[in-house]
Amino acid sequence: MPAGRCADEESGNSIPRPRIVGVGTAVPPFSYSQSELLEFFKVTDPKIRSVFMNSAIERRHLTLPPVDAAGDRRDEAQGELLRKHRTTGLDMGMRALQACLKRADAELDDVRYLCCVSTTGFMTPGFSALIIKELGLRQDCARLDVVGMGCNAGLNGLGAVAGWSSTHPGELAVLLCVEACSAAYVFDGTMRSSVVNSLFGDGSGALALISGGPDRAPGGYGPGDSCPTVLKFASCIIPDAVDAMRYDWDDDAGKFSFFLDRDVPYVVGAHAESVVGRLLEGTGIRRSDIAHWIVHSGGKKVIDSVTVNLGLTRHDVRHTTGVLRDYGNLSSGSFLFSYARLLDEGVVEEGDYGIFMTMGPGSTIETALLRY
């Protein structure tokens, strides 16, 4: 088999493969530098200030707590944080979905399947039902909410969307990642919470897929050269590191709080090569054939570890580091911000191969193989 061709295509498999025909992103209206946030929250501990200032993040969009009578940022109760998650998430999610449909030249009425992904808050019904109501999507729109899977969940959701799309050719399916990370903050002055508070930002990303039909998007990105086909997924779960990343109840704070173990970058990096190997296994594609790497902006050390273990260059992860710099870690939707930047760059050529890679609680690494 020639390099760059897929085994499944050679077999003549008749199941239509989903193509990505649109992407859209949205953030809250206000952004802050790391130094501004340290001043707002009156952080003086030099160790904590160092964590913020050495994060490779310049600005993040956040929905900050309200100011009290003394002019200080007030501590928010868990109920307020959950309402922030719903309000901020709905606003961002609807704008990201509309931006995605615009780039795909599609209408709200075209959406037949909606998968909403979120970890930064809990509610029932989930975002899918709320967004269908608020935007007036079709009442027969099939839906799914993926909750509590963390930063890797965008690709968990994409797997479900791609599967639905393959069995519903010609119908538009949308993945929507909604993360109001500022609704998951605890301000207690500890290093544990400060590491989290220094890293995450609010943001939402949407991706539109369609299977079958003509070899071109309904509009927007034009003929197949920049509408990649989703070829394959591969996962890696690391049970020994199940508690390394977690979002659970903190009795002392009386809130949910997120925890990141200091060894996360090394655990993820150590398994990156094996999961990419499984993704490419049987395809005839070599790692050196991959032209575009879209890696989750998990943090400076995570990006460095993945880069080293996969033998990537700084150019390969330029969009990953750029999104981290300009937005922070946006959890499940981070990789969609990087993907949008790749398309805007205009360097993708027909026949190129690309990889999506995300990582998160479990601990897990999720990957997807694309052909442009």
DSSP string, 70-115: TSSBPPPPHHHHHHHHHHHHHHHHHHHHHHHHHHTT--GGGEEEEE
d(CA 78, CA 64): 14
Residue 258: pLDDT band (50, 70, 90) is confident
**What is the enclosing helix (H) or strand (E) of 358?**
strand 353-360
CA distances in angstroms from 269 to 111, 210, 225, 301, 364, listed in the order given: 37, 33, 31, 10, 11
- Do 18-211 and 229-371 agree at the fold level? yes
* Helix, strand, or coil (residue 185): coil
DSSP 47-67: HHHHHHHTSS--EEE--PPPB
Q: What is the pLDDT of residues 331-361, one digit of tens each?
A: 999 999 999 999 999 999 999 999 999 999 9
**Mean pLDDT over the full length of the chain:** 90
**What is the CATH number that goes with domain 229-371?**
3.40.47.10
3-state class (DSSP) for residue 204: strand
Structure confidence at residue 70 (pLDDT): 85
Residue 11 reports pLDDT greater than 50: no
**pLDDT tens-place string over residues 319-328:** 999 999 999 9
Q: Residue 7's pLDDT band (boundaries 50, 70, 90)?
A: very low
Q: Which of 297, 306, 283, 268 is nearest to 353 (CA)?
A: 283
Position 308 scores a pLDDT of 96
213 — pLDDT class (breaks 50, 70, 90): low
Secondary structure letter of residue 16 according to DSSP: P
Please report which confidence band the pLDDT of residue 173 belongs to, taking 50, 70 and 90 as the band edges: very high
- Tell me which of 151, 181, 227, 236 is the catalytic residue: 151
Q: How many CB atoms lie within 10 A of CB 211?
A: 22
177 is catalytic: no
Q: What is the mean pLDDT of residues 167-171?
A: 94
pLDDT of 171 strictly over 70: yes
**What tokens were used for 33?**
């530098």
Q: What are the residue ranges spanned by the domains of the chain?
A: 18-211, 229-371
Task: State the pLDDT at residue 214.
Answer: 58
Residue type, 120: T
pLDDT of residue 218: 46
Give residue 1's pLDDT: 30
Res. 13: pLDDT tops 80: no
Residue 66 has pLDDT above 70, yes or no: yes
Q: Domain 18-211 belongs to what topology? A: Peroxisomal Thiolase; Chain A, domain 1 (3.40.47)
Enter the pTM of the model.
Answer: 0.92
Please, are residues 236 and 274 in contact by the beta-carbon 8 Å criterion?
yes
**How many Å apart are CA 97 and CA 166, to the nearest integer?**
21
Q: Which of 2-11, 28-37, 69-78, 129-138 has the lowest mean pLDDT?
A: 2-11
pLDDT at 292 over 90: yes
Three-class DSSP category at 170: coil
Instruction: Decide if pLDDT at 31 tops 50.
Output: yes
Question: What CA–CA distance (Å, rounded) separates 12 from 33?
Answer: 52
Per-residue pLDDT tens digits for 111-164: 999 999 999 999 999 999 999 999 999 999 999 999 999 999 999 999 999 999
- Comparing 212 with 136, which gets the higher pLDDT? 136
Query: How is residue 3 written in tokens?
Result: 């390099």
Percent of the chain with pLDDT over 70: 92
Name the packing angle between helices 300-310 and 318-327 (round to 10°): 180
